[in-house]
Structure 1
Amino acid sequence: MLDSLPLSAKQIRSIAHATARINLWHGAIRSGKTIASLIAFLIAVASAPSSGLIVIVGRSLQTIERNVLDPLQDEKLFGPVARLVQHTRGATTAVVLGRTIHLIGAADSRAEGRLRGLTACLAYVDEATLVPRGFWNQLLGRLSVDDARLFATTNPDNPGHWLRKEFINRAGALDLRHWQFTLDDNPSLPAAYVASLKAEYVGLWYRRFILGHWVQSEGAIYEMFDAERHVVRELPHIERWLCDAIDYGTVNPFADLLIGLGRDNQGRAGLYVVSEYRHDSRATRRQLTDAEYSAARRRWLASVPQPQAGNVLGVRPEWTVVDPSAASFIEQLHRDGVSGVTPADNTVLDGIRGVANLLASDRLFIHASATGLIDELPGYSWDDEAAERGEDKPIKIDDHSCDALRYGVRTTEALWRPHIPTLEVAA
């Protein structure tokens, strides 16, 4: 298996020395840390004690399948060994090298109960910084068989994160080994691909996901936003009306962005914020009901001109993506017969990173009429007090159109990503 993969010296060292109780691979996306950790895990499975369970932990069953099991079953990566990994999509167990592996999603603190009464000899944790602290502690406590080991991978996070403060920084006092990877540590990536990734990430995301550094979020979130580049007065033909994305507010502003997929004069696909509807009850001194907001939305969409289509007015987006906390408004939209209504994916950092990557690679443009969004973007900033606690959070001030933007980008990603394939997700 090792002979069939172009491994770097760092990958080989990490595989050979992954003999501590806790073994952690962390660093840049696409840096080779996952492949190294999976090879070490396979070797560990082959020699694991017969007593005790083997578990794979991830944010959800779907992320375990995508980030761990799919690569293990890839014959281009693991050759004939891949055939010894069996898993039925959606099942909570897999068979790896003849051993039954239990798959555990750990999305929140309630997942800790899934470990109660369990005795484990081997564990693999994907995206360790996303695992709840209590779950991690419980998992370590369940690794009670002699010579039990834990393998984990993660992208860097805030330097105040508990994984770095309480484990990586205390490696000398613990039975823990860790290896930090940069993008340049992966010998199998084409030079042009590496150059593209480096160009697409900026600021905080570049330092974390390209250089592999644990750095604190600070300053402007979308520091790559440049009104000269990203604000446009002329729009291309919109090939696909992806969604209107809503951040709901009664006292706070209500913001709705219409987002479409179009191509510039060079044929490059990009996302375009075509139009914006906002209602600020403080400014107008009038609060609207759910029914009034729904009617205002219909009137607004009916009045939007279709770019490059003459005098054609009116747009019907495929999806209406709504702030997931706005249950009553979602119900109102259903009553009004709006199709494609869905709660937004509100994973904040993933949404912010997606928007940042699109802006950095000039794949996201905003029509000049969307003044609420244009006004908010430069001031959308990280919360310094949260950062000191090891958390990455935006300041919750003047963020309504920014929230709608990340809702729309994140929730429709499966629709636009095939047209903008160079943008990467962290892994």
Structure 2
Amino acid sequence: MPLNKLYTKKQRDIIKASREKDWFMMINHGAVRAGKTVLDNDLFLFELKRAKKNAEEDGVMTPMYILGSTSAGTLQTNIIREIEDKYAQDIKFDRYGNFTFWGVYVVTTFTGSIAGLKSIRGMTAYGAYINEATLANKEVFDEIVKRCSGLGARIILDTNPDHPNHWLKVDYIDKADGEKIVANHFTIFDNDFLNKRYVDNLIAVTPSGVFTERGIYGRWTSGEGAVYTDFDEKKHYITKEQLPTNLTYFCGVDWGYEHWGSIVVMGEAPDGKVYLVEEHAAQHEEIDYWVNVARGITERYGQRIPFYADSARPEHVARFARERFKTHNAKKSVLSGIEEVAKLFKMGSLFILEENVTKFKDEIYQYVWNKKTGEPVKENDDVLDAVRYAVYTHKHGKPTIKLFKHGL
């Protein structure tokens, strides 16, 4: 099959350049769906053959190679499954979670935490491939670089962009010289296999500001101003009369004392639209207060309504469980959760029952980005954190129970 049927022009150019230069590190970074991982998976296979040849010159018959991913799940979905499906291979892992491919012993390590050091300390690697590199623990990343001391070892990285002060950008991408460190930047438009309709739809549903800059254009940028830039009170506030009745209800819980605590009741309609139905926010209240709030919610919406709670106060989560509230630890990924909420605002699919919220009205405009860290400022976020916990966990965590009665 012709190469232009297998690879985009950007991918073909990078593959060609990868064979012409003796680089040490190649960083493919940029937009989502731009073709980075597909390219790097194939570069990984090319590098295994190269590692085998270099090791034989070193007198090593079974060289080791490092394959890093943030978790077992991302390793399987981003790399292993893709390679097996594309090349009809059946990768067999040994009892250590590693595998041999084309005569190279591939050592897997999970870079998302310091525990990833255990599997690679002391080894000599003939190369490495690190998926989602910005999510890697820096100590693990640095150790991988040190381990790549075999003859001709090279390191492949791919990642979506983060804030401009991230160590990967400052220490590596900004120092790329095109020789030892090669950095290739991708935008969504580099993937000419994507049809225009898909690209237009992706742009339409991607939240404005930092998410568009990073996800579409692949830029390393910090957010400026309000986090939820697509919120429009004329579009997103509704009245009680506009609230559908056939909603699936669920709650988000953000514990607090000096900071405000908050419980929100959310509802999802069959068409996927989500509604903030009730806000409960208070300062300097003990757990008994929140138990009473939750009890009132279960009286209105039923005992099976789930509470997705901040795990930072496990004793409070345990108290809710003892009270027989259907309580789960919330999925707390900050940027992913914010993106989920922001996407709903962008798509006109998140609505606020205006008469039932107070603190939300202040926070929605005062919840802003920290330019230095790329994270939101930890102020004016109590109700919005509860909303994030509820929405993100409902979408990506445990299933909720459908209830067809609202207690308003």
TM-score if structure 2 supplies the norm length?
0.87
Partner residue, 2:37:
34
Q: Are positions 1:59 and 2:73 aligned together?
A: no
Instruction: Please state how far the C-alpha of 1:97 moved relative to its aligned partner.
Output: 4.5
Seen in structure 2, the aligned counterparts of structure 1 residues 89 and 296 have a Cα distance that, compared at 3 Å, is: farther
Q: Are positions 1:408 and 2:390 aligned together?
A: yes
In 1: Cα distance, 2:348 partner to 2:92 partner: 40
Seen in structure 2, the aligned counterparts of structure 1 residues 161 and 6 have a Cα distance that, compared at 3 Å, is: same
In 2: Cα distance, 1:93 partner to 1:210 partner: 35
Task: For 1:111, give the aligned amino acid.
Answer: G
Q: Give the match's secondary structure for 1:172.
A: coil
Task: For 1:27, give the aligned amino acid.
Answer: G
Q: Are positions 1:176 and 2:181 aligned together?
A: yes
Partner residue, 2:365:
378
Seen in structure 2, the aligned counterparts of structure 1 residues 278 and 44 have a Cα distance that, compared at 3 Å, is: same
Q: Give the match's secondary structure for 2:379.
A: coil
Partner residue, 1:16:
16
Q: Give the match's secondary structure for 2:251.
A: strand
Q: Deviations over 1:377-420 (max 9, x none)?
A: 11110124xx1xxx222112221011111111222223699xxx
Task: For 1:66, give the aligned amino acid.
Answer: T
Q: Which of residues 354, 360, 365 in structure 1 aligns to 2:340?
A: 354
In 2: Cα distance, 1:260 partner to 1:196 partner: 25
Within a 5 Å distance, the mapping from 1:144-183 to structure 2 comes to: 144-172=149-177, 175-183=180-188
In 1: Cα distance, 2:276 partner to 2:33 partner: 30
In 2: Cα distance, 1:87 partner to 1:226 partner: 52
Partner residue, 1:246:
253
In 1: Cα distance, 2:178 partner to 2:191 partner: 30
Q: Deviations over 1:25-82 (max 9, x none)?
A: 10100011111111111111233225431221111111211222222223xxx2xx1x
Q: Give the match's secondary structure for 1:392.
A: coil
Partner residue, 2:198:
193
Within a 5 Å distance, the mapping from 1:103-122 to structure 2 comes to: 103-122=108-127
Partner residue, 2:403:
none
Partner residue, 2:221:
215
Task: For 2:267, give the aligned amino acid.
Answer: G
Task: For 2:196, give the aligned amino acid.
Answer: A
Within a 5 Å distance, the mapping from 1:72-83 to structure 2 comes to: 72-74=83-85, 78=86, 81=87, 83=88
In 1: Cα distance, 2:334 partner to 2:92 partner: 31
Instruction: Please state how far the C-alpha of 1:128 moved relative to its aligned partner.
Output: 0.6
In 2: Cα distance, 1:232 partner to 1:317 partner: 26
Tell me, yes or no, if the aligned pair for 2:222 and 2:369 is still in contact at 8 Å: no
Partner residue, 1:259:
266
Instruction: Please state how far the C-alpha of 1:372 moved relative to its aligned partner.
Output: 2.2
Instruction: Please state how far the C-alpha of 1:174 moved relative to its aligned partner.
Output: 6.3
Task: For 1:240, give the aligned amino acid.
Answer: T
Tell me, yes or no, if the aligned pair for 1:18 and 1:177 is still in contact at 8 Å: no
Instruction: Please state how far the C-alpha of 1:172 moved relative to its aligned partner.
Output: 1.5
Tell me, yes or no, if the aligned pair for 2:51 and 2:104 is still in contact at 8 Å: no
Instruction: Please state how far the C-alpha of 1:131 moved relative to its aligned partner.
Output: 0.9
Seen in structure 2, the aligned counterparts of structure 1 residues 382 and 235 have a Cα distance that, compared at 3 Å, is: same
Seen in structure 2, the aligned counterparts of structure 1 residues 378 and 56 have a Cα distance that, compared at 3 Å, is: same
Tell me, yes or no, if the aligned pair for 1:85 and 1:96 is still in contact at 8 Å: no
User: 5+ residue gaps in structure 1?
Assistant: 282-286, 304-313, 418-427
Seen in structure 2, the aligned counterparts of structure 1 residues 2 and 27 have a Cα distance that, compared at 3 Å, is: farther
The Cα RMSD (Å) is 2.4
In 2: Cα distance, 1:6 partner to 1:317 partner: 50
Tell me, yes or no, if the aligned pair for 1:167 and 1:174 is still in contact at 8 Å: no
Partner residue, 2:405:
none
User: 5+ residue gaps in structure 2?
Assistant: 400-408
Tell me, yes or no, if the aligned pair for 2:161 and 2:220 is still in contact at 8 Å: yes
Q: Are positions 1:123 and 2:123 aligned together?
A: no
* Comparing 14-23 and 59-68, the one that deviates more: 14-23
Q: Which of residues 236, 245, 269 in structure 1 aligns to 2:244?
A: 236
* Comparing 402-411 and 135-144, the one that deviates more: 402-411
User: Percent of pairs identical after alignment?
Assistant: 26
Seen in structure 2, the aligned counterparts of structure 1 residues 100 and 271 have a Cα distance that, compared at 3 Å, is: farther
Seen in structure 2, the aligned counterparts of structure 1 residues 146 and 178 have a Cα distance that, compared at 3 Å, is: same
Partner residue, 1:308:
none
Q: Are positions 1:71 and 2:77 aligned together?
A: no
Tell me, yes or no, if the aligned pair for 1:277 and 1:297 is still in contact at 8 Å: no
Partner residue, 1:319:
306
Task: For 2:341, give the aligned amino acid.
Answer: V
In 2: Cα distance, 1:174 partner to 1:223 partner: 40
Task: For 2:24, give the aligned amino acid.
Answer: R
Task: For 1:21, give the aligned amino acid.
Answer: F
Task: For 2:47, give the aligned amino acid.
Answer: A
Instruction: Please state how far the C-alpha of 1:99 moved relative to its aligned partner.
Output: 4.0
Partner residue, 1:46:
49
